[in-house]
Amino acid sequence: MSSSIASEAKSYTLPQPPIYFPPSSHLPSASPISPTSRTQSLLSPGTFSASESPAVDSPTLKPPVMTPRVVPSTTLGHAFELKTFNIQEDVNVHSEPKVMPRELVGSPMEKLFQKIKQNDRIFIQQLPRNLFGQAKQEFFIDKASSSADGGYTPLTLALTLGHLDLAVDLLLIGASTNVADAQKRQPLRIVPNDSMAKMIITFMVLETNEAKSRTSKSNHHGEYKKLLTQIDPASGYTLLTWAIRYRHPELVRKLINAGADFRVYNRSGRAAFEEACAFGCMETLSLLLDAWPEVVLDQYREHLIAGIESAIRTNRRMVVAELLSFFRTEFRYLYKSASTISRYDKEPKVPSNPVVEEEAFRLFLGAKPERKTSVAHLMKQTSDTFLLTTEESRLLQLNKMTALAQKRSLPEIVEIIHAHAIISDGDTRSDSSSV
């Protein structure tokens, strides 16, 4: 009988134990056990693949327990039910995003006043530039705060705290100089007399009234002229030199349109052009050059020379390159247009090597060439179209400027000057002792 049982057993192949998925009540939905990894390896009771067995000290999963389950006799095999106990849910996975109540986060206006207290100019400068765009985001630039918060408008709060740069930012995005806050404080009455803040607010009031009247500035010519030439007793700046020094290009544009004089010096002895070359941003310098191209002519060239010298002393390489390029272009244009030379002679010469010319031109503007090559090598291959002549170099006193850069150990500025101009070594040595 035993032999018949053995022969009968040989004719049967034990089937693969069925894969059993544990009830959902025993496993968290966020971390199911993959049926293709952990359950398929259960070929014998209580065994796990070494690579798939869970860690015993896992904080969320204890080792599974195998319990036999009765199956129909036709399967001729056994199945095992996988049970897990004490499984903790992952709070980070199952927690819903919390929406903070609006009163806890703060309204846009509360955020605006908080940013003003923090003197956050970046936030103010990123606000929409028009009142419609601000209202769409619920920023009302002239609305006063509650009485509990002092009843300030954004502008009166900035002026009260002494944040003058931020107050200028508010004015440039549309804050009114004529709106009083909840405590009847007006901007002009908050700022002290004989101060830069007073000068700026007064200028904005004049400009606003002028724009509303739609008349020429001749109606307020006397007030404008007096204000634009006034020097602040505390800082020693004029309106224009202050706007340049503290990098408010939009205010500079308004002052230029109002007729600010570039030749008026501040108490430090610097006019607007020299101040821009020493401390201003490139956008401000471009505004001045566009508004005052005659700086290259004989009667105003002292301002250009002073600007180049100031840029060298403050190690502003891009400014030096911009001024030399500007002088080359404007000086030749103005002098040729005023002469009787035929228009055919005014056309620029065709560069001998366009690729080298373009690379040299980038170097003139202070950028590094794409290929590693020396300035001297570029100069040898560059035509005279992009180089200042010896006479033009003499007009700009570039021999003196080169000596100044060498004395201050600024080799990059020396390279920029030599990339722009033809300067003999004898001229450089002759003026080096006077720097």
Render pLDDT for 374-422 as a digit per residue (tens, 0 to 9).
666 666 666 667 788 899 999 999 999 999 999 999 999 998 898 888 8
Give φ, ψ of 66 to 5 degrees: -95, 125
Domain assignment present for 407: yes
Residues 145 and 182 in one domain: yes
Give φ, ψ of 81 to 5 degrees: -100, 130
Three-class DSSP category at 159: helix
Residues 332 and 425 in one domain: yes
CA distance 1 to 268: 122
Q: Element (H or E) spanning 430, and its range?
A: helix 425-432
Structural domain for 407, as ranges: 327-435
Residues 332 and 433 in one domain: yes
Per-residue pLDDT tens digits for 323-356: 998 998 888 888 766 554 433 344 444 445 556 6
Q: How many residues does the chain have?
A: 435
DSSP 351-369: PS-HHHHHHHHHHHTTPPP
Burial level of 186, CB count in 10 A (0-12/13-18/19+)? middle
Residues 361 and 414 in one domain: yes
- Total domains in the chain come to 3
Chunked in runs of 10, what are the mean pLDDT values of the chain (435 residues)? 50 52 49 44 44 47 53 47 46 48 66 93 90 84 84 93 94 90 90 92 84 52 81 93 94 92 86 91 91 90 94 93 90 68 41 58 62 62 75 93 95 89 60 42
Dihedral Cα 227, 233, 236, 237, nearest 10 deg = -30
CA distance 138 to 134: 6
Give φ, ψ of 65 to 5 degrees: -110, 130
Residues 83 and 114 in one domain: no
Domain assignment present for 282: no
Q: Among 140, 157, 190, give the residue marking a domain's end.
A: 190
Domain assignment present for 38: yes
Residues 435 and 345 in one domain: yes
CA distance 78 to 58: 29
Residues 122 and 180 in one domain: yes
**CA dihedral sign, ordered 128, 129, 135, 138:** positive
Residues 67 and 140 in one domain: no
Residues 27 and 129 in one domain: no
